[in-house]
Amino acid sequence: MSAPQRVGTAADLSPGKVVGVGRYAVGNANGRYFAVTRKCRHLGADLAGGNIDENGCLVCPWHHSAYDVGTGRMVRGPQGNYAKVPGLDFLYRMLTRVLPLGRKPVTERDGELYLGS
C-alpha cells in the first residue's frame, strides 16, 4: 500500500476548483472534496481541465459530459454535435454504470489535502 499523496492546501482548492494530481482529477464540489480518474470516457479528455456545474458534477472540458463525482458515473453524455447522435447519451451513461471513473478518497489533515487514507 502506498503512502497518501499530497494534493495541496484546503485553502487552495476552493469550491468549484479542479486540479490534476497524478492520474486523478481532484476537486471541490460545493465543499465536498473528490478524486476521480482523469480521462473522460468519451474521447479521453483530461478532466482536470474541467469544471464543477451547479449540481456538483464534474464537467468535461471538451464535450461537456457530466460525471457524478461520488459514483464516477456519467449523468449527461457528450453535448454539441454529439448530443444529436441518437442513443449516444444513453450508451455512455450505461457504459459508466459498468465502468465508472475510478475514485479515491481525499482526506484533510491540518489544512492539507491528501489522496488516500
The pLDDT assigned to 35 comes to 98
Predicted local distance difference test score (pLDDT) of residue 3: 79
Q: Which amino acid is at 88?
A: L
Instruction: State residue 74's pLDDT score.
Output: 95
Per-residue pLDDT tens digits for 16-72: 999 999 999 999 999 999 999 999 988 899 999 999 999 999 999 999 999 999 999
> pLDDT digits over 8-23, tens only?
999 999 999 999 999 9
Determine the Cα–Cα distance for residues 91 and 77; give it in Å rounded to an integer: 8
Question: Domain range holding 9?
Answer: 5-115
DSSP 54-102: TTS-EE-TTT--EE-TTT--EEE---GGGGGSTTHHHHHHHHHHHSPPP
What SS3 state is found at 14?
coil
How many domains does the chain contain in total? Answer: 1
Report the pLDDT value the prediction gives residue 4, as an integer from 0 to 100. Answer: 85
Residue 116's pLDDT band, with cuts at 50, 70 and 90, is confident
pTM attached to this predicted model = 0.92
Give 106's Cβ-side CA count (13 Å radius).
29
The CATH number assigned to the domain holding 59 equals: 2.102.10.10
